[in-house]
Amino acid sequence: MGWRKMSLFWTDLGQIVPNALQTLYIAAWSIIVGILGGGVVSYIRIKKIPVLSLVVQIYLSFARSVPMIVVLYVCYYALPNLTAGLVAEQGIRVPKSIIAVFALSLFSSAYFGESFRSAYFSVGKLQMEAALASNLSKWSALKRIILPQAAFFALPNVFNTVMDIIKGTAIIYNIGLLEITGKSILVGSMTYQYIPAYFAAWVIYIAIYIIVNIGFKFIINKLNFKGEEVRL
Protein backbone atom coordinates (compact mmCIF):
# COMPACT_ATOMS: atom_id res chain seq x y z
CA MET A 1 0.00 0.00 0.00
CA GLY A 2 1.59 3.27 -1.19
CA TRP A 3 2.04 6.47 0.84
CA ARG A 4 -1.09 8.06 -0.66
CA LYS A 5 -3.18 5.02 0.10
CA MET A 6 -1.79 4.83 3.63
CA SER A 7 -2.79 8.45 4.13
CA LEU A 8 -6.26 7.64 2.79
CA PHE A 9 -6.42 4.61 5.09
CA TRP A 10 -5.92 6.72 8.22
CA THR A 11 -8.39 9.32 6.97
CA ASP A 12 -10.98 6.67 6.15
CA LEU A 13 -10.38 4.93 9.48
CA GLY A 14 -11.17 8.15 11.33
CA GLN A 15 -14.42 8.51 9.38
CA ILE A 16 -15.51 4.88 9.82
CA VAL A 17 -14.69 4.37 13.52
CA PRO A 18 -17.69 6.43 14.81
CA ASN A 19 -20.02 4.14 12.84
CA ALA A 20 -18.69 1.18 14.81
CA LEU A 21 -21.03 2.43 17.55
CA GLN A 22 -23.98 1.75 15.25
CA THR A 23 -22.65 -1.76 14.67
CA LEU A 24 -22.16 -2.42 18.38
CA TYR A 25 -25.54 -0.90 19.31
CA ILE A 26 -27.48 -3.10 16.88
CA ALA A 27 -25.34 -6.13 17.73
CA ALA A 28 -25.76 -5.66 21.50
CA TRP A 29 -29.56 -5.50 21.32
CA SER A 30 -29.63 -8.44 18.89
CA ILE A 31 -27.49 -10.49 21.29
CA ILE A 32 -29.72 -9.64 24.27
CA VAL A 33 -32.94 -10.45 22.41
CA GLY A 34 -31.31 -13.50 20.80
CA ILE A 35 -30.20 -14.92 24.16
CA LEU A 36 -33.66 -14.42 25.64
CA GLY A 37 -35.29 -16.01 22.60
CA GLY A 38 -32.71 -18.80 22.63
CA GLY A 39 -33.52 -19.51 26.26
CA VAL A 40 -37.20 -19.95 25.39
CA VAL A 41 -36.34 -22.14 22.38
CA SER A 42 -34.02 -24.38 24.39
CA TYR A 43 -36.54 -24.71 27.25
CA ILE A 44 -39.30 -25.80 24.87
CA ARG A 45 -36.95 -28.24 23.12
CA ILE A 46 -35.64 -29.71 26.40
CA LYS A 47 -39.08 -30.11 27.95
CA LYS A 48 -40.61 -31.28 24.63
CA ILE A 49 -43.74 -29.21 25.23
CA PRO A 50 -46.57 -30.39 22.92
CA VAL A 51 -47.55 -28.09 20.03
CA LEU A 52 -44.88 -25.53 21.01
CA SER A 53 -42.17 -28.05 20.11
CA LEU A 54 -43.64 -28.32 16.62
CA VAL A 55 -43.79 -24.52 16.32
CA VAL A 56 -40.14 -24.26 17.41
CA GLN A 57 -39.12 -26.96 14.92
CA ILE A 58 -40.78 -24.99 12.10
CA TYR A 59 -39.08 -21.82 13.32
CA LEU A 60 -35.66 -23.52 13.38
CA SER A 61 -36.19 -24.80 9.85
CA PHE A 62 -37.09 -21.27 8.75
CA ALA A 63 -34.02 -19.74 10.44
CA ARG A 64 -31.73 -22.30 8.79
CA SER A 65 -33.13 -21.94 5.29
CA VAL A 66 -34.06 -18.28 4.72
CA PRO A 67 -31.32 -15.65 4.15
CA MET A 68 -31.35 -12.83 6.69
CA ILE A 69 -31.37 -10.18 3.99
CA VAL A 70 -34.73 -11.50 2.74
CA VAL A 71 -36.25 -10.83 6.17
CA LEU A 72 -34.75 -7.32 6.14
CA TYR A 73 -36.23 -6.55 2.72
CA VAL A 74 -39.64 -7.99 3.56
CA CYS A 75 -39.92 -6.04 6.82
CA TYR A 76 -38.57 -2.76 5.46
CA TYR A 77 -39.79 -2.65 1.87
CA ALA A 78 -42.68 -5.12 1.55
CA LEU A 79 -44.45 -4.67 4.90
CA PRO A 80 -45.58 -1.04 4.26
CA ASN A 81 -46.97 -2.02 0.83
CA LEU A 82 -48.69 -5.16 2.11
CA THR A 83 -50.38 -3.28 4.96
CA ALA A 84 -51.16 -0.05 3.05
CA GLY A 85 -54.80 0.87 3.56
CA LEU A 86 -55.35 -1.89 6.11
CA VAL A 87 -53.72 -0.33 9.16
CA ALA A 88 -52.73 3.11 7.90
CA GLU A 89 -52.67 4.96 4.61
CA GLN A 90 -48.95 4.33 4.17
CA GLY A 91 -48.99 0.95 5.87
CA ILE A 92 -46.95 -0.20 8.84
CA ARG A 93 -43.54 1.45 8.96
CA VAL A 94 -41.14 0.11 11.55
CA PRO A 95 -37.95 2.03 12.52
CA LYS A 96 -34.86 0.74 10.74
CA SER A 97 -33.02 -0.11 13.95
CA ILE A 98 -35.91 -2.26 15.19
CA ILE A 99 -36.07 -4.11 11.87
CA ALA A 100 -32.32 -4.74 12.03
CA VAL A 101 -32.50 -6.08 15.60
CA PHE A 102 -35.54 -8.19 14.72
CA ALA A 103 -33.84 -9.80 11.71
CA LEU A 104 -30.57 -10.50 13.53
CA SER A 105 -32.20 -11.80 16.72
CA LEU A 106 -34.68 -13.90 14.73
CA PHE A 107 -31.79 -15.94 13.41
CA SER A 108 -29.50 -15.75 16.44
CA SER A 109 -32.24 -17.06 18.75
CA ALA A 110 -32.23 -20.32 16.80
CA TYR A 111 -28.46 -20.77 17.16
CA PHE A 112 -28.39 -19.64 20.80
CA GLY A 113 -31.24 -22.04 21.56
CA GLU A 114 -29.46 -25.02 20.04
CA SER A 115 -26.22 -24.08 21.83
CA PHE A 116 -28.03 -23.90 25.18
CA ARG A 117 -29.83 -27.19 24.58
CA SER A 118 -26.69 -29.10 23.62
CA ALA A 119 -24.79 -27.58 26.59
CA TYR A 120 -27.57 -28.63 28.97
CA PHE A 121 -27.42 -32.22 27.77
CA SER A 122 -23.61 -32.15 28.02
CA VAL A 123 -23.98 -32.16 31.80
CA GLY A 124 -24.41 -35.72 33.03
CA LYS A 125 -27.85 -36.70 34.39
CA LEU A 126 -26.18 -38.34 37.39
CA GLN A 127 -25.15 -34.91 38.66
CA MET A 128 -28.76 -33.83 39.06
CA GLU A 129 -29.60 -37.14 40.75
CA ALA A 130 -26.65 -36.75 43.13
CA ALA A 131 -27.69 -33.18 43.94
CA LEU A 132 -31.28 -34.22 44.69
CA ALA A 133 -30.00 -37.12 46.81
CA SER A 134 -28.00 -34.55 48.81
CA ASN A 135 -31.29 -32.84 49.77
CA LEU A 136 -30.82 -29.93 47.36
CA SER A 137 -33.99 -28.63 45.75
CA LYS A 138 -34.25 -28.94 41.97
CA TRP A 139 -33.87 -25.18 41.55
CA SER A 140 -30.79 -25.07 43.81
CA ALA A 141 -29.26 -27.98 41.90
CA LEU A 142 -29.87 -26.19 38.60
CA LYS A 143 -28.51 -22.86 39.85
CA ARG A 144 -25.44 -24.16 41.69
CA ILE A 145 -24.45 -27.27 39.73
CA ILE A 146 -26.12 -27.77 36.34
CA LEU A 147 -26.37 -24.26 34.87
CA PRO A 148 -22.75 -23.14 35.64
CA GLN A 149 -21.43 -26.25 33.88
CA ALA A 150 -23.89 -25.83 31.00
CA ALA A 151 -22.82 -22.19 30.63
CA PHE A 152 -19.18 -23.28 30.43
CA PHE A 153 -19.96 -25.83 27.72
CA ALA A 154 -22.12 -23.33 25.80
CA LEU A 155 -19.64 -20.45 25.74
CA PRO A 156 -17.58 -21.48 22.65
CA ASN A 157 -20.74 -21.77 20.52
CA VAL A 158 -22.15 -18.59 22.05
CA PHE A 159 -18.92 -16.79 21.14
CA ASN A 160 -19.28 -17.94 17.51
CA THR A 161 -22.89 -16.76 17.41
CA VAL A 162 -21.99 -13.39 18.93
CA MET A 163 -19.32 -12.88 16.26
CA ASP A 164 -21.78 -13.97 13.55
CA ILE A 165 -24.19 -11.29 14.79
CA ILE A 166 -21.49 -8.61 14.74
CA LYS A 167 -20.47 -9.62 11.22
CA GLY A 168 -24.14 -9.94 10.24
CA THR A 169 -24.67 -6.23 10.89
CA ALA A 170 -22.76 -5.68 7.65
CA ILE A 171 -25.98 -6.20 5.66
CA ILE A 172 -28.10 -3.60 7.46
CA TYR A 173 -26.71 -0.84 5.26
CA ASN A 174 -29.14 -2.26 2.67
CA ILE A 175 -31.98 -0.58 4.60
CA GLY A 176 -30.08 2.65 5.15
CA LEU A 177 -28.29 2.08 8.46
CA LEU A 178 -24.68 3.16 8.15
CA GLU A 179 -22.60 0.77 10.24
CA ILE A 180 -18.97 -0.18 9.59
CA THR A 181 -19.43 -1.78 6.17
CA GLY A 182 -21.99 0.74 4.94
CA LYS A 183 -19.81 3.66 5.97
CA SER A 184 -16.74 2.13 4.32
CA ILE A 185 -18.66 1.80 1.03
CA LEU A 186 -19.81 5.43 1.31
CA VAL A 187 -16.31 6.69 2.16
CA GLY A 188 -14.75 4.70 -0.67
CA SER A 189 -17.30 6.05 -3.16
CA MET A 190 -16.29 9.63 -2.34
CA THR A 191 -12.72 9.16 -3.54
CA TYR A 192 -13.17 6.08 -5.75
CA GLN A 193 -10.46 4.53 -3.58
CA TYR A 194 -12.26 1.55 -2.04
CA ILE A 195 -9.26 -0.51 -0.93
CA PRO A 196 -8.14 1.85 1.91
CA ALA A 197 -11.75 2.15 3.11
CA TYR A 198 -12.34 -1.60 3.06
CA PHE A 199 -8.99 -2.19 4.76
CA ALA A 200 -9.98 0.28 7.48
CA ALA A 201 -13.27 -1.61 8.00
CA TRP A 202 -11.32 -4.86 8.17
CA VAL A 203 -9.03 -3.46 10.88
CA ILE A 204 -12.03 -2.31 12.94
CA TYR A 205 -13.69 -5.74 12.71
CA ILE A 206 -10.45 -7.42 13.80
CA ALA A 207 -10.19 -5.03 16.77
CA ILE A 208 -13.76 -5.86 17.81
CA TYR A 209 -13.01 -9.58 17.46
CA ILE A 210 -9.94 -9.30 19.70
CA ILE A 211 -11.87 -7.41 22.39
CA VAL A 212 -14.80 -9.86 22.36
CA ASN A 213 -12.38 -12.81 22.36
CA ILE A 214 -10.59 -11.49 25.43
CA GLY A 215 -13.91 -10.95 27.18
CA PHE A 216 -15.08 -14.50 26.51
CA LYS A 217 -11.76 -16.00 27.59
CA PHE A 218 -12.04 -14.09 30.86
CA ILE A 219 -15.56 -15.48 31.45
CA ILE A 220 -14.46 -19.02 30.52
CA ASN A 221 -11.56 -18.83 32.98
CA LYS A 222 -13.96 -17.71 35.72
CA LEU A 223 -16.34 -20.61 35.02
CA ASN A 224 -13.66 -23.22 34.36
CA PHE A 225 -13.81 -25.10 37.63
CA LYS A 226 -12.37 -28.25 35.98
CA GLY A 227 -9.27 -26.64 34.54
CA GLU A 228 -10.17 -27.73 31.02
CA GLU A 229 -8.68 -25.96 28.01
CA VAL A 230 -11.27 -24.34 25.75
CA ARG A 231 -10.23 -22.69 22.51
CA LEU A 232 -12.27 -19.97 20.85
3-class secondary structure, 197: helix
CA dihedral 74, 114, 206, 149 (to 10 degrees): 150
Going residue by residue through the chain, which has 232 residues, state the pLDDT in tens, using 9 for 90 and above. Answer: 555 667 788 888 999 999 999 999 999 999 999 999 999 999 999 989 989 999 999 999 999 899 999 999 988 888 888 777 676 667 778 899 999 999 999 999 999 999 999 998 888 777 777 776 777 777 777 777 788 888 888 899 999 999 999 999 999 999 989 999 999 999 999 888 889 999 999 999 999 999 999 999 888 887 765 555 556 6
Nearest of 48, 57, 50, 168 to residue 110 by alpha carbon:
57
Note whether 38 and 116 are within 8 A (CB): yes
Residue 79 has what pLDDT? 82
Note whether 100 and 26 are within 8 A (CB): yes
Rg (CA), the chain: 22
Contacts 24+ apart (CB under 8 A), 145-152: 146/120, 148/223, 148/225, 149/122, 149/123, 150/116, 150/119, 150/120, 150/122, 150/123, 151/119, 151/223, 152/119, 152/220, 152/223, 152/224, 152/225, 152/230
**Residue 32: other Cβ atoms inside 10 A:** 12
C-alpha distances out from residue 148 to 75, 158, 163, 199, Å: 38, 14, 22, 40
Output the pTM of the full model: 0.88
Residue 4 has what pLDDT? 60
Residue 43 has what pLDDT? 92
- 205/24 Cα distance (integer angstroms): 11
> Domains (ranges, CATH) in the chain?
3-223 (1.10.3720.10)
Residues with Cβ within 8 Å of 47's Cβ and at least 6 positions away in sequence, in order, are none
